[in-house]
Amino acid sequence: MTGATSLDHTPAARGTVLVTGGGGRLGRSVVTGLAEAGYEVVSVDRDRAPEGVFPADVIQEAADLLTDGEPFRIIQAHRPDAVIHLAAIAVPFSAPEEVIFNTNSRLAFTVLQAATELGVGKIITASSPTVLGYGAPSGWLPPAFPLTETTPPRPWNAYALSKYLAEQIMEMFTISHGERSRYAAFRPCFVISPEEWLGAPTQQGHTVEERLADPSLAAPALFNYVDARDVSDFLDVLLQKMGSIPNGQTFFVGAGDSLATEPLADLLPRFIANSGPLTESLTGTRPAFSVDKAHRLLGWAPRRSWRSELQPSGPDSLSFATPSTLDIAAELATASRGNQVNP
């Protein structure tokens, strides 16, 4: 272990949160955001993050959570008030299918099991929008757009299946131990970290600007995205409110608009056969994924948009509209209203 120990200073005002996968693309923003919000944060990852990545008081544990007993040992050592499980192989087909399935499902089960057995009060696991099954080689059409938490999952690869299983594991522990601990899962859209707005490559290797310029790059994810800091804000709100909402909920966490320069009503039918009649409501900047459930149950809404965050790379870059903050707020409010559907 590195950094301070959980025993040598007073607990932070909001309690201790242990984040697995804290050194990852999403984890770095979550660890930093929660530390800045007043939590004591323990980041667990295979490798220690370089100096300066996290605020100085973040505790780092370097450990392989696939090793027998490690999740239990580490959670027991820190006795956190909450566990947020992010560690996973996060990219579909980035490893053999059975490796992705074995890794992600084992990590989800053993981390949630250890947290449950140790009586952690709040236990959250990362899922993914891919559980819905878009992009399936056999074809895919949802019952309706925008997509919500009630859209039927139809995973078609090991990654999506492992994330669906993580949700089921969360639900299983809710059923067996929900009288003692609070559980939730969340499905972050395509995560964009702060440095990626400045031109660093995204999870898929291209830049955000390239993703906007070529719709075929964002189409496989249905033009979804979310700023990693908005995910951190969501988790902060979830941690504060999960004691007062029904136990075992799953939430989409996405931006209030789409990662596209054209309305999805025009774009999606070009990429998804026969989707035209279903996408008519996705006018203006409306995204394919609704975050209305998180807004309704938690009062959370995304605050950041590519329109406010992206730094165009130079004079030859796309001529992005740079609306004022007020314009962006109005667009997000419109998008949010347009997505209000039943959970």
Ligand X SMILES: NC(=O)c1ccc[n+]([C@@H]2O[C@H](COP(=O)([O-])OP(=O)(O)OC[C@H]3O[C@@H](n4cnc5c(N)ncnc54)[C@H](O)[C@@H]3O)[C@@H](O)[C@H]2O)c1
Q: Can you point out the beta strands (E) in the chain? A: 16-20, 40-45, 59-62, 82-85, 122-126, 182-188, 191-192, 226-227, 249-253
Q: Beta 226-227 vs 122-126: how paired, if at all?
A: unpaired
Among 16, 17, 18, 21, binds ligand X (CB under 6 A): 21
Cβ proximity to ligand X, 149 vs 265, nearer residue: 149
Q: Is 33 in the site for ligand X (CB under 6 A)?
A: no
Residue 334, judged by CB atoms within 10 A of its CB (0-12, 13-18, 19+), counts as: middle
Q: Is 26 in the site for ligand X (CB under 6 A)?
A: yes
Q: Is 302 in the site for ligand X (CB under 6 A)?
A: no
- Rounded to 5 degrees, φ, ψ at 231 are -65, -40
Residue 66, judged by CB atoms within 10 A of its CB (0-12, 13-18, 19+), counts as: middle
Token pair in block for residue 99: 């490796």
Secondary structure element (H or E) that encloses residue 70, with its range: helix 70-78
Among 88, 169, 239, 291, binds ligand X (CB under 6 A): 88
Q: Is 215 in the site for ligand X (CB under 6 A)?
A: no
Task: Kindly state the DSSP code that residue 263 receives in the 8-state scheme.
Answer: -
CB 50 → ligand X: shortest distance, Å? 12
Residues 6 and 69: beta-carbon distance below 8 Å:
no
Token pair in block for residue 95: 């490893």
Per CB under 6 A, the segment of 81-89, 176-184, 295-303, 331-339 that binds ligand X is: 81-89
Residues 286 and 263: beta-carbon distance below 8 Å:
yes
Per CB under 6 A, the segment of 18-26, 132-140, 266-274, 330-338 that binds ligand X is: 18-26
Q: Which residue is nearest to ligand X (CB)?
A: 24
Q: Is 27 in the site for ligand X (CB under 6 A)?
A: yes
CB 287 → ligand X: shortest distance, Å? 14
Per CB under 6 A, the segment of 17-25, 167-175, 274-282, 297-305 that binds ligand X is: 17-25
CB 268 → ligand X: shortest distance, Å? 19
Q: Is 114 in the site for ligand X (CB under 6 A)?
A: no
Among 146, 188, 302, 338, binds ligand X (CB under 6 A): 188
CB 51 → ligand X: shortest distance, Å? 17
Q: Is 203 in the site for ligand X (CB under 6 A)?
A: yes
Residues 129 and 252: beta-carbon distance below 8 Å:
yes
Omega before 201 cis (within 30°)? no
Among 17, 24, 148, 173, binds ligand X (CB under 6 A): 24
Strand, helix or coil for residue 189:
coil
Per CB under 6 A, the segment of 132-140, 184-192, 285-293, 323-331 that binds ligand X is: 184-192
**CA dihedral sign of residues 314, 318, 321, 325:** negative
Cβ proximity to ligand X, 26 vs 37, nearer residue: 26
Cβ proximity to ligand X, 140 vs 323, nearer residue: 140
Cβ proximity to ligand X, 23 vs 80, nearer residue: 23
Per CB under 6 A, the segment of 9-17, 51-59, 86-94, 142-150 that binds ligand X is: 86-94
Residue 19, judged by CB atoms within 10 A of its CB (0-12, 13-18, 19+), counts as: buried
CA separation for the pair 122, 69 (Å, rounded)? 20
CB 87 → ligand X: shortest distance, Å? 4
Q: Is 191 in the site for ligand X (CB under 6 A)?
A: yes
Q: Which residues bind ligand X (CB under 6 A)?
A: 21, 23-27, 45-46, 64-66, 86-88, 90, 126, 128, 188, 190-191, 203
